[in-house]
Amino acid sequence: MALPKLNVPKYKLKLPSDGRTVNYRPFLVKEEKLLLVATETGEQSEIIDAIKDIIKNCTDLDSVDNLATFDIEYLFLQIRTKSVGEEVEVLVNCPDDKTTQVKAKIPLDQIKVKKTRGHKTTIQLTDECAVEMNYPSLDMFVTMNFTDQQIGVDDVFKMAAACVKTIQDPNQVYECKDIPQDEILAFFDDMNSAQFQKIQDFFDTMPKLTHTVKVTNPNTEVESEVTLEGLASFFG
């Protein structure tokens, strides 16, 4: 005799990047197990494959390869919220002494994707030269949230280079997927500080999960606001 099938609720959300409607459901135990096994190995390729499988299983999206990092974070947040509950407790550092840790309860349904006014994907470096940027990929999402990998200066430059979609001058548009990464890194090296700051500003102002909580330091009784950003801040 076949065992009964459990009903799984279905939900809808809109992707922050383009407003597309996505149908999704909570994690099931099989998906939790898939992610746990992958994170135990510590192999980035296995974690990436697990996340792809989980999002494919839990949503009606065909692919996650071209999703912006903050879309993936928002999707993961919503899926986990419906799976583990509407609230989590995290440890945060009190800003006044920067050492005391206190517990804070985070209502997951109140976490939003913050969009910075004036943020653009096309960066004008000079009157005649501009670069068009993509958002970081699934690989970077995994590095930031699921591995202990230390991110060094070279890694930051390589990530930035991987996000350059096109370089444009009055005569031509260069598709960077066809250009060796070393050449793009050399292009960065030839920038002045103000020009490269514009590249950094693109990453600093790109949309991100954010939520502000009030905490009170039990040692000093000082009340402060703490802004948490990125998926790892809410789940560790």
- What are the per-10-residue average pLDDT scores of the chain (236 residues)? 80 92 91 82 77 87 84 88 84 92 89 90 96 86 68 84 95 94 96 95 91 93 91 69
Q: Are 48 and 139 in contact (CB under 8 A)?
A: yes
Cα–Cα distance, 145 to 136 (Å, whole number): 13
Nearest to 53 by CA among 225, 45, 203: 45
Q: Can you give the pLDDT at residue 128?
A: 95
Write down the domain spans for the chain.
9-85, 89-105+208-228, 116-205
Q: Can you give the pLDDT at residue 235?
A: 63
Q: Can you give the pLDDT at residue 85?
A: 78
Q: Can you give the pLDDT at residue 142?
A: 73
Q: 212: exposed, middle or buried (C-beta count within 10 Å: 0-12, 13-18, 19+)?
A: exposed
| pTM as predicted | 0.78
